[in-house]
Amino acid sequence: NEAGWVGYVIRGEQRRRFEPGAFGSLDAVMAEWQPLRAATAATILGLTGEERESRRPLPWDTSKTVSVDEIVWYVVAHDQYHRGQ
């Protein structure tokens, strides 16, 4: 979620694909996720008001856009959803 929305859509990095079978334990997930979380936090905390209002094309339909602020809220909501699981 964070690699896709924050890394790929907001920062414009190359899209990362993860193979779920490669994560055999929670420690393996955390080893990959912790650097992503740090990069996400740094990106979000560093956004200016203008950057938050800027828009990005949706990966699956580039004719439609979403604001960076909406992406940030989606990432937060997605994280909380999985915490609740």
pLDDT in tens, 16-72: 888 888 899 999 989 998 999 999 999 999 999 999 999 999 999 999 999 999 999
Q: What's the rounded Cα separation, in Å, for the pair 83 and 85? A: 5
* Residue type at 45 in one-letter notation: L
Residue 6: per-residue pLDDT: 96
Q: Give the CA count within 13 Å in the CB-facing half-sphere of 41.
A: 7
Residue 20: per-residue pLDDT: 83
User: How does pLDDT run across 2-19, given as a tens digit for each residue?
Assistant: 999 999 999 999 998 888
Write down the pTM of the prediction: 0.84
pLDDT over threshold 90, residue 81: no
Of 36, 42, 49, residue with least CA distance to 79: 36
Cβ pair 21, 34 in contact under 8 A = no
**Cα–Cα distance list, 29 to 33, 42, 66 (Å):** 6, 20, 28
